[in-house]
Amino acid sequence: MAPQELRYDGQVVVVTGAGGGLGKAYSLYFGERGASVVVNDLGGSFKGSGSDSRAADVVVEEIKSKGGKAVANYDSVADGEKIIDTAIKAFGRIDILINNAGILRDVSFKNMKDADWDLIMTVHVWGAYKCARAAWPHFRKQKYGRVINTASAAGLFGSFGQTNYSAAKLAQVGFTETLAKEGLKYNILANVIAPIAASRMTETVMPPDVLENLKPDWVIPLVGVLVHSSNTTETGGIFEVGGGHMAKLRWERAKGGLCRADSTFTPGSVLAKWKDVNDFSKPSYPTGVANFMELLEEAQKLPPNEP
Ligand code: NAD
């Protein structure tokens, strides 16, 4: 199949937070390419207050007006099982889950309130968990599932005023990495994206000419490829995507310092090896923890550390 003809006929996609921004763009894409779409949106403000069923309804109407199949769901992702239930009741299955819903409660750490922290964790971490948890038995049973979780540059690199959001967004990476490992045997593939796109979340922090080149539509093609049935191997990937740019990210390990692990191992030994601890001239790219058994044996062969 030519890539431009990627289709999802007969498949059921759940998109959370699909009333606007990226979620709306995903929904329209899948709706136009043969999938049945559950358009979930609570319809509140970008700070997480209020609710409005129109957000999801408008997108469902647009998909239907173009001949696609879609139903609305207005639950919070915190009640993810209700969203997955909508998919099962309306279409009898679920194949693809796009965990996309999100809010912001930006505030400097000094002024962070428990409520700001909690709400961000509830929507992003608990919400992604609840949706995936409810979809998981269906994926396992049918030996097929595709998951996209949504991280952020704020989570990967930190961002002023966003300790809550950063923590929740990096959590998506760990969550995805483990889903990928547990799902592989059942043909459940999970990847995580750090998108950048014009939406109500970014419209107040970026100038209009920049936003013009960051249409949500430019995030969709990569996700379309990752969740397509023709992707049978790409899982556990972290992708930065937006404005036509896409790149995979990974962990890099420095050369590292090894000391004999005995009573001669002191802070002085650490300082003596500090250069090696920080030496990225010949990096490795780990996908798991260092091989500690091997390192342990090597460490014991070393002479006692210099005082
Ligand atoms: P957006 O505000 O347009 O979309 C988020 C949607 O999620 C909204 O329609 C909102 O009503 C919905 N939502 C919020 N809380 C919900 C809940 N509890 N249950 C169900 N729906 C809920 O913003 P967007 O930019 O399209 O963001 C989409 C995702 O991408 C978010 O997870 C966001 O954190 C992430 N993200 C966006 C950018 C960017 O540049 N736009 C950058 C990094 C990460």
Write the DSSP assignment of 60-83 as a string of letters: HHHHHHTT-EEEEE---GGGHHHH
What is the model's pLDDT at position 193? 98
Give me the helix-helix angle, 54-65 and 21-32, nearest 10°.
30
Sequence letter at residue 90: A
What is the model's pLDDT at position 4? 65
Closest listed residue to residue 185, CA positions, set 133, 155, 140: 140
- pLDDT tens series, the chain, 307 aa: 455 689 999 999 999 999 999 999 999 999 999 999 999 999 999 999 999 999 999 999 999 999 999 999 999 999 999 999 999 999 999 999 999 999 999 999 999 999 999 999 999 999 999 999 999 999 999 999 999 999 999 999 999 999 999 999 999 999 999 999 999 999 999 999 999 999 999 998 899 999 999 999 999 999 999 999 999 999 999 999 999 999 999 999 999 999 999 999 999 999 999 999 999 999 999 988 888 788 888 998 999 998 7
- What's the pTM? 0.96
User: Residue-wise over 237-247: b if at least 16 C-beta within 10 A, else e?
Assistant: bbbbbbbeebe
What is the model's pLDDT at position 5? 84
C-alpha 91 to ligand 1 mean position (Å)? 25
Residue ranges of the alpha helices (H) in 153-251? 153-157, 163-183, 208-212, 220-226
What is the interface pTM, i.e. ipTM, of the complex? 0.99
Closest listed residue to residue 175, CA positions, set 157, 195, 148: 148
What is the model's pLDDT at position 2? 58
| Minimum CA distance residue for ligand 1 atom 15 | 102
**Residues 6+ away with beta carbon under 8 Å from 300:** 260, 261
Residue 39, SS3 per DSSP: strand
What is the model's pLDDT at position 31? 98
Location of structure tokens 């990752």: 226
- Ligand 1 binding pocket (C-beta < 6 A) is 16-17, 19-23, 40-44, 46, 48, 55, 76-78, 100-103, 123, 127, 150, 152, 195-197, 199-202
What is the spatial distance between Cα 41 and Cα 289, in angstroms, rounded to a whole number?
Answer: 38
Report the nearest atom of ligand 1 relative to the CA of 43: 11
Cα torsion 137, 143, 146, 151 to 10°: value is: 50
How many C-beta atoms surround the C-beta of residue 251 within 10 A?
A: 11
Start-to-end CA distance of the chain, whole Å, equals 66
| Minimum CA distance residue for ligand 1 atom 6 | 17
C-alpha 29 to ligand 1 mean position (Å)? 17
What is the model's pLDDT at position 112? 98
How many C-beta atoms surround the C-beta of residue 123 within 10 A?
A: 25
